Amino acid sequence: MASFPIDHHSIALDLTKLNLCPKPLPHASDMLPFRLPVVFPRSLRTSSRLLSSLGSNRVDPNGSVLIETTTTPPEPSPDVTGGVQDVYGEDAATEDMPITPWSLSVASGYTLLRDPHHNKGLAFSQRERDAHYLRGLLPPTVISQDLQVKKMMHTLRHYQVPLQRYMAMMDLQETNERLFYKLLIENVEELLPVVYTPTVGEACQKYGSIFLRPQGLFISLKEKGKILEVLRNWPEKNIQVIVVTDGERILGLGDLGCQGMGIPVGKLSLYTALGGVRPSACLPVTIDVGTNNEKLLNDEFYIGLRQRRATGEEYSELMHEFMTAVKQNYGEKVVIQFEDFANHNAFDLLAKYGTTHLVFNDDIQGTASVVLAGLLAALKFVGGSLANHRFLFLGAGEAGTGIAELIALEISKKSQIPLEEARKNIWLVDSKGLIVSSRKESIQHFKKPWAHDHKPIKELVDAVKAIKPTVLIGTSGVGQTFTQEVVETMAELNEKPIILSLSNPTSQSECTAEQAYTWSKGRAIFASGSPFAPVEYEGKTFVPGQANNAYIFPGFGLGLIMSGTIRVHDDMLLAASEALAEQLMEEHYEKGMIFPPFRNIRKISARIAARVAAKAYELGLATRLPQPKELEKCAESSMYSPSYHSYR
């Protein structure tokens, strides 16, 4: 039995946590009268079993008990953009906690400094250093978390190579999680390109070489028959979101096998930083069924299975075991986000598990929702409704057909016309040319609804001339395919051509922001999947938007979680798009923007979450009852705060 060198006989019980989504308190100290001391019999006080039963699974036999308190709550701030106040003490209002609302974990001394969830580095106070056996293990200086942020940003800005910044950020995530999130939340525009696209793409390509500590859960063919056991090896039990990839189509970079792990890790960092979901509730997973990437197979530093990809039954059986184990282990309300699967599996998995699990395909549905939002906002510049526009896509995979379908759904609902009718103004070009009815027999099922009557056309530029689109959308995964001639033709056809180059990372973008503005003589309404800096053209500054699903999935997921939703419905995607488009203000339009700046992303995510949750309640898919009255406030107040807790 472990012994714990402490003399605390009470643990604070925060009654507000018994409420699933209590009203935000006007001041955190209002909570204090509700805190009850809970006294345990002496025999229980030293029992590691008791501690485990209270929700801690980090019992250190040599350690002391570390109790997080809210005795010095931070001043509540009225906004959520720069890290919210920790109203609930444990950032857990999205969590079902009917009986054990404790905040408790176990570590001390050296172990505490190496526990990323509790380490505060130089920010440990003198009192904490005494109480937790840290004296001598740290240099004497005590600094604030704000100063730590300043120092870290200073260090990061000195690195010239983006990959160095990525590695420094991953290192921070693995040593001091709260500091990592504070940095990311407070510097989101600067750091998003580091932990996310484009740098995460390069990180995945070089993952084998830069790999220091494993992050996330690796489930390979070797784990077949044991996936439930593997899930149980993960230290956190209360999982709310899983992002899973099989690495076959990482961004526009292709098959990166097991090294695709950078993507679920990055996406989940955004779930926390942008959407406020607690890091401990997030589980990144990579399914390794091999890779067809010869370069990786021959790379001595490759970290995955050294075999060609399993397909067919072998593949579906492993995926099925995974999906079944997830539901068995975490229940029905865990969000499973599919990420960067190749087309053929992505559509099949979504269709197969859409009726039994809470699944969401970010590349099909998240991308569709963000692009629809951008188009709704762009109407402000071009006028009319979506039904008055003609759309041409380069790329007919997950993103292309997903966006096309959501546009058609929105048009069909708004104009009250059948979906088939709404699809007629939407055209797609794939690697073989315009998708037309004469190709219907030979194309994949997800392309068939877009095979309209027209003579075959091979080249994109000829398709632009023939179809005369008002909106051109690139989802091809191939860089520099919107040539000067293509953009110029769009500009000849339209006073304000809408051009979206969505492929990631930057190297795969169909054209750059500068090309779009220059070739259209400053008339294009442009957005891209990966970020581009503002462009000066003839004395005017153009701010390109980042049409990236990062605007959608964090808030969307939060909406699902806070309402206890059990299935995703397309109407929730439409609700998310509308919520995002509504965030555009006059000041944004003046700069030609069709997406709001990322610096307000937590507010944006809360709005999206509220709208998604409201739709879920309306559709009868939400299980968390009764429905909170003020969903947006509920979303904001349930967001994770990266501020340090005080330990006693």
Ligand X SMILES: O=C([O-])CC(=O)C(=O)O
Q: Is 196 a catalytic residue?
A: yes
Contact flags string 285-324 toward Mg ion, x per CB under 5 A: ----------------------------------------
Nearer to ligand X, 276 or 477 (CB): 477
Nearer to Mg ion, 200 or 407 (CB): 200
Please answer whether residues 558 and 605 qualify as being in contact, where contact means their C-beta atoms are separated by less than 8 angstroms: yes
Is 339 labelled as part of a ligand binding site? yes
Please answer whether residues 447 and 454 qualify as being in contact, where contact means their C-beta atoms are separated by less than 8 angstroms: no
Residue 548, interface with ligand X (CB under 6 A)? yes
Nearer to Mg ion, 91 or 340 (CB): 340
Q: Is 267 a catalytic residue?
A: yes
197 binds, options Mg ion, ligand X, none, Cβ within 5 to 8 A by partner type: ligand X
504 binds, options ligand X, Mg ion, none, Cβ within 5 to 8 A by partner type: ligand X
CA angle, corner 193, sides to 190 and 195, nearest 5? 105
Q: What six digits make up the tokens of 384? A: 């009319």
Other CB atoms within 10 Å distance of the CB of residue 464: 26
**For residues 152 and 220, what is the distance between their CA atoms, to the nearest angstrom?**
36
Work out how close the CB of 607 gets to ligand X at its nearest, in angstroms, rounded to a whole number: 21
Is 602 labelled as part of a ligand binding site? no
* Locus of tokens 């090294």: 259
Interface pick for ligand X out of 504, 509, 512, 583 (rule CB under 6 A): 504
Work out how close the CB of 145 gets to ligand X at its nearest, in angstroms, rounded to a whole number: 29
Work out how close the CB of 512 gets to ligand X at its nearest, in angstroms, rounded to a whole number: 16
Site for Mg ion in 324-383 (CB under 5 A): 339-340, 363
Please answer whether residues 427 and 392 qualify as being in contact, where contact means their C-beta atoms are separated by less than 8 angstroms: yes
Contact flags string 15-54 toward Mg ion, x per CB under 5 A: ----------------------------------------
Q: What is the dihedral of CA 9, 14, 19, 21, to 10 degrees?
A: -140
Short-list 345, 325, 343, CA closest to 334: 325
Site for ligand X in 320-359 (CB under 6 A): 340
Is 548 labelled as part of a ligand binding site? yes
219 binds, options ligand X, Mg ion, none, Cβ within 5 to 8 A by partner type: none
Is 91 labelled as part of a ligand binding site? no
Residues 6+ apart with CB under 8 A from 522: 537, 538, 540, 542
Q: How many residues bind ligand X (CB under 6 A)?
A: 9
405 binds, options Mg ion, ligand X, none, Cβ within 5 to 8 A by partner type: none
14 binds, options ligand X, Mg ion, none, Cβ within 5 to 8 A by partner type: none
Interface pick for ligand X out of 95, 223, 363, 410 (rule CB under 6 A): 363
Residue 95, interface with Mg ion (CB under 5 A)? no
Residue 362, interface with ligand X (CB under 6 A)? yes
- Tallying the residues shown for the chain, one arrives at 648
Residue 641, interface with ligand X (CB under 6 A)? no
Residue 251, interface with ligand X (CB under 6 A)? yes
Phi/psi at 343 (5° precision): -45, -55
Please answer whether residues 504 and 252 qualify as being in contact, where contact means their C-beta atoms are separated by less than 8 angstroms: yes
Site for ligand X in 189-218 (CB under 6 A): 197
Residue 549, interface with ligand X (CB under 6 A)? yes
Work out how close the CB of 340 gets to Mg ion at its nearest, in angstroms, rounded to a whole number: 4
Nearer to ligand X, 60 or 340 (CB): 340
Q: What is the DSSP string of 407-424?
A: HHHHHHHHHT--HHHHGG
Nearer to Mg ion, 365 or 489 (CB): 365
Q: How many residues bind Mg ion (CB under 5 A)?
A: 3
SS (H, E, C) 228-276: HHHHHHCCCCCCCEEEEECCCCCCCCCCCHHHHHHHHHHHHHHHHHCCC
**For residues 512 and 501, what is the distance between their CA atoms, to the nearest angstrom?**
8
> 117 exposed, middle or buried (CB, 10 Å; 0-12, 13-18, 19+)?
middle
Residue 128, interface with ligand X (CB under 6 A)? no
Nearer to Mg ion, 339 or 430 (CB): 339
Work out how close the CB of 486 gets to ligand X at its nearest, in angstroms, rounded to a whole number: 21
What strands, in cross-sheet order, belong to the sheet with 282-288?
A: 217-220, 282-288, 241-245, 335-338, 359-361
Nearer to Mg ion, 370 or 436 (CB): 370
Work out how close the CB of 502 gets to ligand X at its nearest, in angstroms, rounded to a whole number: 8
| Residue type (1 letter), 577 | S
Residue 246, interface with ligand X (CB under 6 A)? no
| Residue type (1 letter), 87 | V
> 355 exposed, middle or buried (CB, 10 Å; 0-12, 13-18, 19+)?
exposed
Nearer to ligand X, 101 or 262 (CB): 262
How far is C-alpha 352 from the chain's CA centre? Answer: 23
Q: What six digits make up the tokens of 43? A: 């025999």
Nearer to ligand X, 288 or 362 (CB): 362
90 binds, options ligand X, Mg ion, none, Cβ within 5 to 8 A by partner type: none
Residues 6+ apart with CB under 8 A from 430: 395, 396, 443, 447
Per annotation, catalytic residue among 88, 166, 196, 551: 196
DSSP letter (8 states) at residue 478: -
Where residue 135 falls (left for φ over 0; alpha for ψ -120 to 50; beta otherwise) is: beta
For β-strands 535-537 and 540-542, DSSP reports them as: antiparallel
Per annotation, catalytic residue among 120, 206, 267, 447: 267
Task: Give the CB-nearest residue to ligand X.
Answer: 197
Q: Is the peptide bond before 531 cis (omega within 30 degrees of 0)?
A: no
H runs (alpha helix) in 331-457: 343-353, 367-382, 398-415, 419-422
Residue 177, interface with Mg ion (CB under 5 A)? no
Is 249 labelled as part of a ligand binding site? yes
Continuous segment of H or E residues that includes residue 143? none
Is 492 labelled as part of a ligand binding site? no
The contact set with ligand X (CB under 6 A) reads 197, 251, 340, 362-363, 504, 529, 548-549
Q: Which residues are annotated as a binding site for (S)-malate?
A: 249, 504, 548
Q: Which residues bind Mg ion (CB under 5 A)?
A: 339-340, 363
Binding-site residue numbers for a divalent metal cation are 339-340, 363
Binding residues: 249, 339-340, 363, 504, 548
Query: Hey, which residues are catalytic here?
Result: 196, 267
